[in-house]
Structure 1
Amino acid sequence: MNTPFIKNHQFNFIKQQVKNLQSTLMTVSDPKVIEGARFGAEAKIFEQFLAITNEQKQLFAPLLTLKKPEEFQEFVTSLTPYLSSFPKVTEKQIQKLFPKNKKLKTPNLDALNYTALTYIGWIDIATNKMFFVYEQNNQIVGIEGRFTATNKKNVCSLCNGVAEVALFSAITKTKNAKYADYYKAVGNYMCIDSAACNAKIKDLTYLESFIASVLENA
């Protein structure tokens, strides 16, 4: 039985390692360098998982023998049955995450490919807001903020890719022992196209710290 264990960001990371390895094979002829690249790619992939079984490790054994371009593609395709899915959410669940938005417009949830999601993100032009839904500590959470279009490309804080971005600003209330509650904006440049962002994100460190910083002061 194929038990899903590869999350979207991990799959993106794996594809990048496969691409790098394929590039090395095309440009390097030294067998020792190639061997080092093969074992290096395998080791980096294993580091993506807190606990990986020997059976799961065997899925990546082809990395040590791949040669032809079609073999690399076949290898990536062979991993798709093991992709874990982002929790499917309903419109009602999302509305509960943003109770102050009485006329919240959600994306077409039925059209989403949940195995290709690290987060669900969308823009509501009517309210000039961006919304994010994410699974954190086995709980679905949501954050919202104002977005300001930049009409230019820049580096996205979440996926580190260059794309058309908007400035996302989440307003949070911070409690302080010396002062009264005050509000501050937590802002970052984010991809306008969340699907493209999900296709590039390989590391959750910044995403999780950003969401935590917003929620802990909410």
Structure 2
Amino acid sequence: MMKPFIRNHQYNMIKKQTDLLQRACNTVSDPKVVEAVRYSATTKILEAFPDAVELQKQILEKISTLKTAEEFQHYLHSMEPYLEPFEQVTETQMKKLFPKNKKLKVPDLATIDNRYVTYLGWTDIATNKLFMVYHLNGKLVGVEGKYTPMNKKSNCFLCNRHEEVALFSAISKWKPANASPDYYRAIGNYLCVNSDTCNNNITDVTTLEKFIYDIVGQSRLES
């Protein structure tokens, strides 16, 4: 069997394009419009896998032939064996990422289906903190910050969907070369209250990885 090659955010993107095409097939009467949507969906999916080998491309390109609800459902279901899970993280590893939090409470890792995880995120209500764990450039990286529920919906900066959000504010560990000793920079963004929801929505990791670079710093990730 082929090695898994589809990451969670890529699968979410495939689902999004599949849904757009299915809706076009169901609601648009002009065949030319439907074919335009079909071409766009196929192109965007293939562009998300620039390193795909021929067999992988053949699997992804099957979207170009779908017409019925059953075919769309089967297409998405056929992708599941190729989902590349978030690399397993142990509780010990997670605690090493946040050494200053002596009483760190980590999520129940046994209950998480890592196939549908782009980043691990959880909150500690007692300390009003949110923790994130992500694999970046072969390194396991942890980011923590202040977590302030907003009791409203807004666009999440990671998944760009309109969801219930909290203000997530993290202090950057990166300093300019000529920075003074008391240099301080906090980065705040609206983030989904529920990380499962965010992981189910996210279709691109560019913003996530830039955020981690801004917080942790390039040199720390390369060392």
Q: Give the TM-score band, short-chain normalised.
A: over 0.9
Residue pair 2:46, 2:60 contacting (<8 A) in 1 also = no
- The aligned amino acid for 1:122 is W
Once structures 1 and 2 are overlaid, which stretch shifts more, 148-157 or 165-174? 165-174
Alpha-carbon separation, structure 2, partners of 1:91 and 1:175: 33
Deviations 1:70-106 (A, max 9, x none): 2111110011000001010000000000011111000
Alpha-carbon separation, structure 2, partners of 1:144 and 1:133: 9
- The match for 1:129 is 129
- The aligned amino acid for 1:95 is K
Consecutive unaligned residues of structure 2, counting only runs of 5 or more, are none
- The match for 2:77 is 77
State whether structure 2 residue 191 is matched by structure 1 residue 190. Answer: yes
In the superposition, the TM-score normalised over structure 1's length comes to: 0.95
Q: How does 1:134-145 map to 2 (within 5 A)?
A: 134-145=134-145
Alpha-carbon separation, structure 2, partners of 1:130 and 1:121: 7
SS in 2 for 1:199: helix
Residue pair 2:12, 2:200 contacting (<8 A) in 1 also = yes
SS in 1 for 2:203: coil
SS in 2 for 1:14: helix
Alpha-carbon separation, structure 1, partners of 2:65 and 2:29: 15
- The match for 1:216 is 217
Alpha-carbon separation, structure 2, partners of 1:75 and 1:10: 15
Residue pair 1:175, 1:181 contacting (<8 A) in 2 also = no
What's the C-alpha RMSD, in Å, of the aligned pairs? 1.5
Count residues with an aligned counterpart: 218
Q: How does 1:59-78 map to 2 (within 5 A)?
A: 59-78=59-78
Residue pair 2:123, 2:130 contacting (<8 A) in 1 also = yes
Residue pair 1:152, 1:164 contacting (<8 A) in 2 also = yes
Report how far residue 178 of structure 1 moved: 5.5
Consecutive unaligned residues of structure 1, counting only runs of 5 or more, are none
Residue pair 1:123, 1:129 contacting (<8 A) in 2 also = yes
Residue pair 1:7, 1:83 contacting (<8 A) in 2 also = yes
Q: How does 1:144-155 map to 2 (within 5 A)?
A: 144-155=144-155
- The match for 1:44 is 44
Report how far residue 14 of structure 1 moved: 0.3
Alpha-carbon separation, structure 2, partners of 1:180 and 1:139: 28
Once structures 1 and 2 are overlaid, which stretch shifts more, 81-90 or 49-58? 49-58
Report how far residue 180 of structure 1 moved: 2.8
Report how far residue 165 of structure 1 moved: 0.8
Residue pair 1:8, 1:84 contacting (<8 A) in 2 also = yes
Deviations 1:89-144 (A, max 9, x none): 00000000001111100000111010000000000011110000000001110000
- The match for 1:165 is 165
- The match for 2:56 is 56
Specify whether residues 178 and 37 from structure 1 end up closer, same or farther in structure 2 by C-alpha distance, changes over 3 A only: closer
Residue pair 2:155, 2:161 contacting (<8 A) in 1 also = yes
Report how far residue 46 of structure 1 moved: 0.5
Alpha-carbon separation, structure 2, partners of 1:118 and 1:61: 23
In the superposition, the TM-score normalised over structure 2's length comes to: 0.93
Residue pair 1:143, 1:211 contacting (<8 A) in 2 also = yes
